[in-house]
Structure 1
């Protein structure tokens, strides 16, 4: 079941996200996020008039996807950055696609014009997910992140809705 997130989901979202923080270069954070901070992030997304979805099965959160403002200047108000994270045990199960389908449909209904996604590289699964939804690579920044003792490239994908 795909539904809008709420503050009560923060701990379950942290359980998914923090595994990426601690074990991968998918997130550039290097310290775990606690539930109160995640609840604030969820609240900030909703306060910006944007959606945050979770995929739940038998009361367990399996993944989430959300949109956040691309930039703060007023002219950017119709452009958002999107992100999705799926429980590592359920990667490549279609949950990311289900979440993005809901998220992108919601963003279209809200009148958003552009969706943008930053992807640490290499990350073929994330690239495939974003390209499945018609996003195209528009930028590649070399060695802009440093984690686990190595430099990491970041690519950006975009789509006009």
Structure 2
């Protein structure tokens, strides 16, 4: 299977496949706090904006089928936060539990290291033991839980935050 796995940057043409993966999380779970399905043009715009920020949005394909994606966005808007990102990863139901998540996430983290990102932050709607295990397996550690910060599916939801330091020391002199 290893040689059939392909991780590459997302393109705007991937938006429909990404929507097909993401919208079941929106509609059927509390993993995403979005409450309305995302359209293909909306997803294409999200992909474009991440690219404009100079951050990676990766997809993983198995036998040519797009089965998952991972990306990073700026953690906060103030300039001092420019070396911190929030990461996200989503997979089609059929692809979960095959080890693709850790491979894709490792590729995302490597791309972020190469960009000089200092800290990656993963926010997880709780409970979500699979996502917590994925993050902890990659070296993230839980640093916070915000209680009852989201309301979806008729109940209050907690969000936990995990962090991973990607680079030590100060940023490179030309890093802005």
Aligning the two structures, in what range does the TM-score lie when normalised by the shorter sequence?
over 0.9
Per-residue CA distance 1:80-139 (angstroms, 9 max, x = gap): 000100101111111111110100000001100000010000000000000011111111
Q: CA RMSD in A?
A: 0.6
2:85, 2:29 → 1: CA distance? Answer: 24
Paired residue for 1:107?
112
2:57, 2:28 → 1: CA distance? Answer: 24
Structure 1 unaligned blocks of 5 or more: none
Q: What TM-score does the superposition give when structure 2 sets the normalisation length?
A: 0.90
Larger Rg: 2
2:145, 2:40 → 1: CA distance? Answer: 32
Per-residue CA distance 1:24-56 (angstroms, 9 max, x = gap): 000000100011000000011010010000001
1:58, 1:36 → 2: CA distance? Answer: 26
Q: What TM-score does the superposition give when structure 1 sets the normalisation length?
A: 0.98
Structure 2 unaligned blocks of 5 or more: 1-5, 167-176
1:27 to 14, 24, 32: 32
